[in-house]
Structure 1
């Protein structure tokens, strides 16, 4: 089990306790802390069976840091959680490991349930993205699923080590979506990716408009740079489907003001994504001319 942390003092103790109380306990827990300036490292050190790796904050990136931690681990299967993803029950690890009984499965990711304080729109977005039905995905499903075939999340995921090493692991550096890109490589290499709806964590965000813009800008940059492994799958259709689902849900629930806020939120998402996409295209074009 690998958990990257940064200033996680308010949540890391509860998370470690939840992992230690699982019916299927992790053989090891590795916390990679990016030089927190709160009590995160002190709290982790109170758990003698947890390995703490401290890195400089400037050295963290989503792909490289996780790759380093995976290679420091010893198990045949390596699980990832973020510091703010709390297992919904004591069966989380058992449930996310179950699909690996199929030797063709390389990656399993779980279901994210909203926190109690999640906005109404965020709750609907979670229910759209992380549904109650599990899904086994192979290369043959890519034409039908499009970008959804590559949807995976290291918020709560598990990897088969041999498959991970076979496809070269996470990129280093990569700003975001390292999970999506390795899922694409798994599928293209003939492996199976599983969404396991019974493996649940509680995880959601109430992002500000500025945070949504920044998040979607970075995603736009990285997804544009990786269109070759994503089979040029368009994002637009999936995004419109999510927006329609959420607005209809808000209307049914009578959240008219929230629907208006969500429309503005989607505008920031769209503009951020488009700006990131265009900047990445200019960078790639410039790099091509320089070669």
Structure 2
């Protein structure tokens, strides 16, 4: 039996019913978390949301698990900084970061993530992330993308995998990812003041420091989005911005090759399964992704008003100098 303590950290913004299911599933785990800490953006929005507010606000426990709630104003939210602020409040052995819309598929999520993690010594697995399954309302394109990015086989990644996997060596998703807290702190935690991609940036630092990252395919959450072409554009714009701001990590492992491989593989899948009518939609969405990435990687050459319009995280640019 693994005796390590685990704290679950969940940033929240306008949480919906999936948040309720997430909390319920977390309190049914075979390895219960020591505490669930929610970092909510805008207290007024929390009070309007259809979520289990009373238990959090009273400091009650759910299923024997203590609940904690911290409110912060929208201007203080930062993808890396907010999570790091929550990590500093924890004394648990393992930090499990999740998003408000990722629902554990079963009661073994925490147990199976823990099974992948090593100790705090160099060369050990310092982070493990879960497989993301599509929900029932997921579109065929997004369903295939999930299977492409989150396959059935687990894998432990290290610097030795860079020639084969390229940028996917650094892939790690805070939709559901666990970190050894002592290593997290020793490495300085997540990047502060980052628009996006704090998980991959930190994962790359782990790899470069000699640690390993585990993809735990048997640790599963239900999480997917049906993004429009415009949303895909904005998301990839922000992704490229985060990479452009960290050339020390991403300059030698570009994303374009992996993107092309996904498009080709998806097109073949649609043709094999009698859905060639979805090819125009695939081409449209892929074009939106590429254009967003192309402009985001060159954002410093664009007027600030254009950058703000292209970004999914517009408030990030308020005090950004470039």
- Deviation, structure 1 residue 246: 0.9
What TM-score, normalized to structure 1? 0.93
**Residue segments in structure 1 that go unaligned for 5+ positions in a row:** 284-289
* CA distance in structure 1 between the partners assigned to 2:116 and 2:16 by the alignment: 33
- Deviation, structure 1 residue 45: 3.0
Number of residues of Structure 1 aligned to a counterpart in Structure 2: 285
- Deviation, structure 1 residue 106: 0.8
Compared with structure 1, are the counterparts of its residues 197 and 280 closer, same or farther at alpha carbon in structure 2 (3 Å cutoff)? Answer: farther
Deviations 1:61-112 (A, max 9, x none): 1100000011111101100110000001010110111012465111101100
Compared with structure 1, are the counterparts of its residues 166 and 281 closer, same or farther at alpha carbon in structure 2 (3 Å cutoff)? Answer: farther
Report the equivalent of 2:115. 98
The 3-state SS of whatever aligns with 1:232 is coil
Q: Is it true that 1:65 corresponds to 2:82 in the alignment?
A: yes
Contact 1:2–1:78 (Cα < 8 Å) also in 2: yes
Task: Map 1:178-193 onto structure 2 (within 5 A).
Answer: 178-193=198-213
Q: Is it true that 1:14 corresponds to 2:21 in the alignment?
A: yes
- Deviation, structure 1 residue 263: 1.0
Task: Map 1:1-291 onto structure 2 (within 5 A).
Answer: 1-35=8-42, 37=45, 38-39=48-49, 40=51, 42-43=53-54, 44-45=56-57, 47-48=60-61, 49-101=66-118, 104-230=124-250, 232-280=252-300
Deviations 1:236-285 (A, max 9, x none): 111111111111111112122222101100000000000011114679xx
**Residue segments in structure 2 that go unaligned for 5+ positions in a row:** 1-7, 304-320
Higher deviation after alignment, 76-85 or 222-231: 222-231
Report the equivalent of 2:314. none
Report the equivalent of 1:287. none
Compared with structure 1, are the counterparts of its residues 280 and 149 closer, same or farther at alpha carbon in structure 2 (3 Å cutoff)? Answer: farther
**More RCO (CA 8 Å, sep 6+):** 1
What TM-score, normalized to structure 2? 0.84
